[in-house]
């Protein structure tokens, strides 16, 4: 009976979220409702709820989670300071005379924005507003144009410093400690957000490279879809303007990631450095005033409050789910799957991919990963490899029709003359590229685990 309640709890929350109810209050409210039913029917021990105050205090006292509002502040500040606009204009002049040069520029700028902002929705909308009209005006195929914009807009999911990796790092750290305690290891090793940042670096760069290779391939095989532009039309490359647009974001990215890689700063300290750096960058562009600062602060508070409210709701859900024996149920299911640990891994990846159609990455990170993470890690999977694979999977689901979130963001800024089917058609090659990267990372796990080993040691 208790295990049936655990299944009903999870299903009810998914249905309520699909119906459009607020995530944080759905998680907490439905969990409390089921806990009450469980107490009345004798299937739930109310003592589990006594752990909630300690959980909430742990969230408040969590130094790692301080990185979330700081990285959000950094991203929102850079978004408002027209970094993307300056970069795109300069890069399009640099690459525009090549076939597909504008699309390549979008990939490069998208990667730089991903490493600067880490906020998927903002990047997709910003790039869509800035680049799409130009690409269409210059004769680019609408499907390839929208596909490139949607795909590069989601790079913030995987290229550090990513909000996804910050949240996943905290959840994976807790899951890894639980897994080791179950295995009888009472001095458990830890996995940090920094480990995930370093582990995601090579796959993220490889993904950008694969995107660019695809664009070059289309430009060679179907040149009419990606026309080159004349130098007279583009104008001369203004190297001073290019360097002014390119160097400050690169310095900021280098300072944030470099301080983490070199071991001089934790991700939280690096996030504080990034927030200050973003303010200085906006100041040098004369884009920082009181109104700007107030708007950025409001935007940061709104996003951060949403994340932490969801985390509180997810903490209550995990307590109630565990109280109904849901964790034991999942362990039993995984143990009976054909293929052992690999069968369990593929099932989890499939479930996360499908849930990515209906749930945001925050809900999946806080609801699903704490349930399945300890079980998979207890089976012997590497925590950094598993965390980055989940992040790549979430990024793929962001692009997949018909419910991919990036597609909704892009649809909102796409002219009515371009049908939704064109956007769907455009993202299909990029989805295949991302699936290819998942296969490569599965066959060659060193793509993810090698760099953290070199930086932090085995």
| Residue indicated by tokens 């890894």 | 176
Question: Residue 142 pLDDT > 80, yes or no?
Answer: yes
Please say whether the dihedral angle defined by the alpha carbons of residues 392, 360, 58 and 38, taken in this order, is positive or negative. negative
pLDDT grade for 96, boundaries at 50, 70 and 90: low
The pLDDT, as a whole number, for residue 213 is 94
Percent of the chain residues topping a pLDDT of 90? 10
Highest mean pLDDT among 59-63, 83-87, 162-166, 200-204: 200-204
Examine residue 347 and state whether it is found in any structural domain, yes or no.
yes
**Per-residue b/e over 260-291, b at no fewer than 16 CB within 10 Å?**
bbeeebbbbbbbbbbbbbbbebbeeeeebeee
Per residue in 267-304, pLDDT (tens digit) is: 888 888 888 988 888 887 777 788 888 888 888 888 78
Examine residue 25 and state whether it is found in any structural domain, yes or no.
no
Please give the residue that has the higher pLDDT: either 375 or 387.
Answer: 387
Examine residue 21 and state whether it is found in any structural domain, yes or no.
no
In which element (H, E) is residue 430 found?
helix 420-443
Q: What's the whole-number mean pLDDT along residues 323-334?
A: 78
Examine residue 437 and state whether it is found in any structural domain, yes or no.
yes
User: Which letter does DSSP use for residue 337 in this model?
Assistant: S
| Mean per-residue pLDDT of the chain | 82
Please give the residue that has the higher pLDDT: either 361 or 133.
Answer: 133
Q: Which of 283, 365, 294, 379 is nearest to 331 (CA)?
A: 379
The pLDDT, as a whole number, for residue 117 is 62
Examine residue 26 and state whether it is found in any structural domain, yes or no.
no
Please give the residue that has the higher pLDDT: either 292 or 83.
Answer: 292
The pLDDT, as a whole number, for residue 223 is 84
pLDDT grade for 438, boundaries at 50, 70 and 90: very high
The pLDDT, as a whole number, for residue 118 is 60
| Residue 366: count of CB within 10 angstroms of its CB | 25
Examine residue 15 and state whether it is found in any structural domain, yes or no.
no
The pLDDT, as a whole number, for residue 385 is 92
Residues 6+ away with beta carbon under 8 Å from 278: 73, 74, 75, 77, 78, 81, 116, 252
Q: Could you tell me the pTM of the whole model?
A: 0.81
Examine residue 182 and state whether it is found in any structural domain, yes or no.
yes
Question: Residue 161 pLDDT > 70, yes or no?
Answer: yes
Separation of alpha carbons 90 and 246, rounded Å: 8
Q: What's the whole-number mean pLDDT along residues 22-29?
A: 82
Total number of domains in the chain: 1
The pLDDT, as a whole number, for residue 230 is 66
Examine residue 34 and state whether it is found in any structural domain, yes or no.
no
Domain that includes residue 343, residue range:
49-456
Percent of the chain residues topping a pLDDT of 70? 93
């Amino acid at each position: 009976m208790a295990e049936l309640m655990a299944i009903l709890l999870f299903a009810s929350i998914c249905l309520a979220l699909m119906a459009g109810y607020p995530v944080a209050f759905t998680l907490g409210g439905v969990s409390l409702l089921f806990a009450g039913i469980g107490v009345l029917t004798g299937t739930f021990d109310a003592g589990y709820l006594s752990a909630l105050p300690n959980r909430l205090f742990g969230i408040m006292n969590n130094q790692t989670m301080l990185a979330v509002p700081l990285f959000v502040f950094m991203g929102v500040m850079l978004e408002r300071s027209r970094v993307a606009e300056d970069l795109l204009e300069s890069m399009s002049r640099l690459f525009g005379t090549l076939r597909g040069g504008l699309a390549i520029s979008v990939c490069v700028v998208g990667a730089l924005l991903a490493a600067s902002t880490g906020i998927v929705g903002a990047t997709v909308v910003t790039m869509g507003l800035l680049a799409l009209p130009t690409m269409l005006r210059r004769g680019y195929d609408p499907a390839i144009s929208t596909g490139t914009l949607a795909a590069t807009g989601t790079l913030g999911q995987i290229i550090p410093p990513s909000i996804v990796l910050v949240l996943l790092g905290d959840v994976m750290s807790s899951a890894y400690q639980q897994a080791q305690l179950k295995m009888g290891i009472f001095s458990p090793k830890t996995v940090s957000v920094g480990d995930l940042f370093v582990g995601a670096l090579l796959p993220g760069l490889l993904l950008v490279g694969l995107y660019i290779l695809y664009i070059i391939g289309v430009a060679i095989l179907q040149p009419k879809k990606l026309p080159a532009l004349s130098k007279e039309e583009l104008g001369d490359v203004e190297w001073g303007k290019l360097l002014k647009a390119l160097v400050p974001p690169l310095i900021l990215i280098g300072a944030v990631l470099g301080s983490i890689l070199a071991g001089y700063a934790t991700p939280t300290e690096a996030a504080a450095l990034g927030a200050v750096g973003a303010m200085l960058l906006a100041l040098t562009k004369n884009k920082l005033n009181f109104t700007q600062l107030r708007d950025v602060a409001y935007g940061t508070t709104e996003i951060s409050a949403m994340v932490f409210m969801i985390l509180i709701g997810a903490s209550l859900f995990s307590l109630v789910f565990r109280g109904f024996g849901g964790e034991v149920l999942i362990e039993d299911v995984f143990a009976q799957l054909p293929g052992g640990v690999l069968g369990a891994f593929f099932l989890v990846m499939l479930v996360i991919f499908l849930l990515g159609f209906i749930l945001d990455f925050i809900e999946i990170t806080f609801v699903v990963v704490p349930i399945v993470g300890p079980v998979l890690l207890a089976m012997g999977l590497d925590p950094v490899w598993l965390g980055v694979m989940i992040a790549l999977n979430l990024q793929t689901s962001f692009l997949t029709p018909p419910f991919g979130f990036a597609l909704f963001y892009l649809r909102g800024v796409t002219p009515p003359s371009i049908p939704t089917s064109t956007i769907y058609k455009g993202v299909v090659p990029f989805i295949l590229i991302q699936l290819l990267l998942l296969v490569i990372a599965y066959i060659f796990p060193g793509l993810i685990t090698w760099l953290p080993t070199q930086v932090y040691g085995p």
